[in-house]
Amino acid sequence: MQSTSLRIIVVALFISILGHLILFFGIPFLSFGSPPEIADDLIIRTELKLEPPKKIQMAKAPKKKVSIDNSANKVEDSKGLATAEQGGTGNQQGVAFKLPESGIIYYDAYVDGQKYQTGEIDWIVDGNNYRLHINIPYAFVGPFVFESRGTIDAYGMAPSIYWTQRGTKPPRYSRFDRDASGGGKMYFSEKPEFTPDLLPGTQDRFSLMFQFASLLNGDSKIDEAGYIRALPVVDYNTLEMWQFKSYGETVSEDIPSLGKSVNRRYALMQRENDPYKRQVDIWLAKDLDWLPGRIRSREANGRVLELIFIQKNPLPAGTKP
């Protein structure tokens, strides 16, 4: 009798605690929504004439030189006239390309409109190497972690490994085995038998945003409203051509922490007859060297994940990709 009463008390206590957690944090591991309707202008109904990824030319950045003010016994930096290439793709002709400066970017993280803890993107560039690490906190199931590592090649961002881990589940890997021309083969931990050809300029789900940012840093006049930019994109078990529609340069408050600011929104387009997968919207902010100020992903099950920019901090000294 006592043991039965104790079990009832324990169960009641567990239900009470669970109820309070759900009240305050929601149920991130369940979604009762359904895929939202896609805006009509984002549905592909005919075959599009798309330009393949183009080779890049690294923009030249000013070198810093040290000038000594003997009268004040003071050393300060000033911009010199010499220039140095950022990266190492040589002097090939191509579209202008300039990587955003490294930093740690903090975001408010939302799941189905409910605010969670702060998300973080570590963007680290050292010469021709980069590391992109994303951590999105998630109640109950643990953080969502994504990482992309690679180099800068003749087409821009060139991931070599992309992995993702949700909570305590084992990580899933996508490996880019690139050759000298930027092509090669893809390998997936989820589908070992699936080894599609790797196209030059192929990105992963997160490196593509920094590819866009680097192109806009090189030439902010590209991708005017209505332009459709296509690029091959890898997820954890797929390689597909994604088409992003540009809404052009606008002044808006879509990134609240920046107030009225100049932004560029790109939205993933969907083919009319394809089953709904996800809807991705990216807002790139001019004040952030076109780094993402807002990212929204509507999953196939109806769940909406969103990151909205809070602030950007410099990297700790000595941080390497």
Q: What is the pTM of this model?
A: 0.79
In a domain, 38, yes or no: no
Is pLDDT at 34 greater than 60 in this prediction?
no
Pairing state between β 291-298 and 60-69:
unpaired
pLDDT number for residue 41: 59
Residue range 79-88, pLDDT digits in tens: 333 333 444 4
Q: What's the CATH number where 178 sits?
A: 2.50.20
Reference 292, options 166, 59, 119; nearest CA is 119
pLDDT number for residue 112: 84
Is pLDDT at 310 greater than 90 in this prediction?
yes
Task: Choose the most confident range, by mean pLDDT, from 58-62, 108-112, 167-171, 189-193.
Answer: 189-193
Mean of the per-residue pLDDT values of the chain: 80
Task: Please report which confidence band the pLDDT of residue 76 belongs to, taking 50, 70 and 90 as the band edges.
Answer: very low
Residue range 39-69, pLDDT digits in tens: 665 565 556 666 778 899 987 654 444 333 4
pLDDT number for residue 201: 95
In a domain, 13, yes or no: no
In a domain, 67, yes or no: no
Pairing state between β 60-69 and 270-271:
unpaired
Domain count within the chain: 1
pLDDT number for residue 202: 96
Task: Please report which confidence band the pLDDT of residue 169 belongs to, taking 50, 70 and 90 as the band edges.
Answer: confident
In a domain, 227, yes or no: yes
pLDDT number for residue 56: 92
In a domain, 80, yes or no: no
In a domain, 197, yes or no: yes
In a domain, 288, yes or no: yes
Q: What type of residue is 57?
A: Q
Vertex 306: Cα angle to 288 and 37 (nearest 5): 120
Mean pLDDT of 103-111: 93
CA–chain centroid gap for 26, Å, is 25
In a domain, 264, yes or no: yes
pLDDT number for residue 6: 64
Domain residues for the domain of 123 are 99-313
Tell me the two tokens of residue 288. 């952030």
Residue range 244-284, pLDDT digits in tens: 999 999 999 999 999 999 999 999 988 656 655 678 899 99
